[in-house]
Structure 1
């Protein structure tokens, strides 16, 4: 579902096609359609500031938008404010409150609720706001360098791939080596990391590893969380919010923890057999 309001906001901020596509997770065609509509309708930045969500939806008639109107608004702005002031408030609690609202409209399932929050977080920089609060986010990624592992019996040499997870507030780092970087290893790594930290954060932030996200088509810029990884997140009742490509601020912590593993683990073992 294309977030036309977010695209329009970035268009009026003067961002390029590529910057808008990376930020919102839309295609260049969507950005072009928004710019054309803005020009044709003569919409100024001042007028846009006074437009409601309903006004914007009328500009971009879309069957998917019509369907979304049947559902009650999750009011994620309020959810984020609650997270800021109550460190024990979780997305699960937010969803339960959402289900209990007096709205007669249909309500999103928990998985849909988390998926929509992930999109909201990516557009509004929620990760940047929450990443240094206790228990809010855990960053995960594969480390680039590998190490050769020698079988002492056969002499066969294989590679060790390092998964790393970290809590940005405490700086706690979990690292484990795997023989592959396939989906099964990635999922198992997350399970082990959560067992290691002894809890579940509200957000898990992968750095766009292929085992975490993918594109529906090669030409599509929107990143979609892989099915099995999404199911794993639903099991733990947490949300996956991938770091945006070409957004250094989102990845700053990821890069620091990877460098720590490279220097403190791989650096020490590289000269050994």
Structure 2
């Protein structure tokens, strides 16, 4: 016991010396944190163009602290936001079934091919399809976004998946659907597109603009294709559509075989095979 008392006394001497060296109170541990504007964070996360949480956390760090207040670290910031989202019942998981749904869209960023003789560049649109259950991706390039290219892309996506999904969800692409009324935010499937899908014994259901979570999988797929195919191959020169699509196909397979995925040591392809 005497030994413990001696150690305690020694520690108190050290703290006393530190207090004499630093008189600004920096040794004090604050238990007060700068308040997070949860309403502003949630509002920013609702909608199509939502910033990532890391950006919102960086904005939060700009909030002025008073006295001994501290800012939450990023991990704790995310936890607190997630708790509020759950408490307010603002989101719910969407359960996907194998083979039920395929989501499709055009990527917003284009690629290009360059004529080897005259050097003229031509823009190339990239079609993206995803299977929500497995996350399996498909991408293919076209010189336009007309109905013929749209339908051909679907055919190739079906072949890539070795089957046809029960429901196709286009992300309100004008190729697939028309606005019913200028006064209503509702769209209907184009007749030609509908007939094409009937041939494959499936149907299209355009996503609802006010329920963006229903198209989240294809938006994520488009982002992956944009980053890891379109941007990744941007420094390469393609002289033909075949060259471009061959290179794109290699990157698609790389994405589908990449692990880990969803926190598990298996790939999109393995999720697909087990579905």
TM-score (norm 2): 0.50
1:188 to 152, 176, 188: 152
1:234–1:130 Cα change, 3 Å = farther
Corresponding residue for 1:234? 198
- Write the distance in 2 (CA, Å) between the matches of 1:218 and 1:191: 32
Kept in 2: contact 1:140–1:204 (CA 8 A): yes
Q: CA deviation at 1:130?
A: 7.2
Corresponding residue for 1:207? 171
Corresponding residue for 2:98? 134
- Write the distance in 1 (CA, Å) between the matches of 2:120 and 2:164: 38
Give ranges in structure 2 of 5+ residues lacking alignment.
Answer: 1-91, 238-275
1:198 to 155, 159, 162: 162
1:246–1:220 Cα change, 3 Å = closer
Q: Give every structure 1 segment of 4 or more consecutive aligned residues whose post-TM-superposition deviation is greater than 6 Å.
A: none
Q: Which has the higher contact order (CA 8 A, sep 6+)?
A: 1
TM-score (norm 1): 0.51
Q: CA deviation at 1:178?
A: 0.4
Q: CA deviation at 1:247?
A: 1.7
Kept in 1: contact 2:186–2:208 (CA 8 A): no
Q: CA deviation at 1:271?
A: 2.3
Larger radius of gyration: 2
Kept in 2: contact 1:163–1:175 (CA 8 A): yes
1:149 to 93, 110, 113: 113
1:172 to 136, 140, 147: 136
Corresponding residue for 1:264? 228
Task: Please give the per-residue CA displacement for 1:202-252, whole angstroms capped at 9, x wherever unaligned.
Answer: 111110000111124433433110111100111111121111113221121
- Write the distance in 2 (CA, Å) between the matches of 1:271 and 1:157: 14
Kept in 1: contact 2:185–2:209 (CA 8 A): no
Task: Please give the per-residue CA displacement for 1:87-110, whole angstroms capped at 9, x wherever unaligned.
Answer: xxxxxxxxxxxxxxxxxxxxxxxx
- Write the distance in 1 (CA, Å) between the matches of 2:112 and 2:198: 35
- Write the distance in 2 (CA, Å) between the matches of 1:208 and 1:182: 14
- Write the distance in 1 (CA, Å) between the matches of 2:221 and 2:95: 14
Root-mean-square deviation (Å) = 1.8
> Would you tell me which structure has more helix in proportion to its own residues?
1
1:226–1:168 Cα change, 3 Å = same
How many equivalent residue pairs?
146
Kept in 2: contact 1:148–1:160 (CA 8 A): yes
